[in-house]
Amino acid sequence: MIRMFVGADGTNCDLESQAVLEYSVRKFASEPVEIVWMQQAAAGPWSGWHTESGRTPFTHFRWGVPAACGYEGKAIYVDSDFFFLADIAELWHQPVPNVILLHSPEGKLKTSCMVFDCEKAEGHIPSLKALKQMPDVNGTFTNYFREHRELLTAYEGDWNCIDGGKYESMQDPRLKALHYSRIEHQCHLPYALARLKAEGRKHWYNGETSAHPRADVQAAFNALYAEACDAGFPPERYRVEPFTAATRRDFKYRVPA
């Protein structure tokens, strides 16, 4: 069984994103996949975290994966704003020589899609109880692994392609998963904003929005979303009891002076 942990919003704002992620994973997967949604809540493993220092409330949760697995086996972490274009088993079966497989272009750490060897992570990443007491979990462990690159290995294939990257075609075989990262033009927003308006609610993102700069990326999402709804993965499948006390920073991007 492939274990996948997904960081997601806990206020039902990004249901369309969750639908496309799960459908796209299962569409191409050649093996069973177990998906655990990591969402801020009033109780359970994703409750009681200091979330005020993160871009999103679930930013820090990624570092809780090894402890959540009891420091046993392997697990994939991914943000919810992804869709997959290849078999996740290709990533799952890559060896993890150290603690983490991830995308590391030009020495940068891209932690939105990682494979943990949970057993090897013990001693480097502490328990959930300890993580919950830390004021900036993501900053702490991003810096830790930046200083201990011997614990990291780059995976084969592009499983964390930001907004289409330099690929001219979405059919490029090197492109395994697409991360529509910039919040103001995330692919699911046209659907989510319309739904939330009908519900009399607003999205957690309070900045200006725009069309995705690559029409082919949006078109790929649109096609997967339609397929997901037809295949039994509609947004309502992902609705939860919302955690309304989520603490968020101002999400408006600031233009450098």
pLDDT tens-digit map of 36-89: 999 999 899 999 998 877 778 899 999 999 999 999 999 999 999 999 999 999
Tell me: the pLDDT tens digits for 15-43? Answer: 999 999 999 999 999 999 999 999 999 89
Tell me what percent of the residues of the chain surpass a pLDDT of 70: 94
Phi and psi at 89, nearest 5°, equal -65, -30
Q: What is the pLDDT of residue 86?
A: 98
**pLDDT of amino acid 244:** 75
How high is the pLDDT of residue 46? 95
**Which whole number is the average pLDDT over 87-114?**
92
**Domains of the chain in sequence order:** 2-238 (3.90.550.10)
C-beta separation of 176 from 157 below 8 A: yes
Distances (CA, A) of 238 to 22, 86, 110, 130: 10, 23, 26, 29
For 112-124, write each residue's pLDDT tens digit.
999 999 999 999 9
With 0-12 / 13-18 / 19 or more C-beta atoms within 10 angstroms meaning exposed / middle / buried, residue 242 is: middle
Q: What was the pLDDT predicted at 55? A: 77
Burial 107-141 (b: 16+ CB within 10 A, else e): eebbbbbbbbbbbbbbebbbebeebbebeebbebb
Q: Does the pLDDT at position 220 exceed 70?
A: yes
- Give the C-alpha separation, 252 to 174, whole Å: 33
Which residues partner with 161 through β-bridges? 178
Q: Supply the DSSP string of 61-125, one letter for each residue.
A: GGGGHHHHTTT-SEEEEEESSEEE-S-HHHHHTS--SSSEEEE-GGG--EEEEEEEEHHHHTTTS
From 239, 242, 186, select the one nearest 214 (Cα to Cα): 186
Mean pLDDT score of the chain: 92
Tell me the pTM. 0.93
pLDDT higher than 80, residue 173: yes
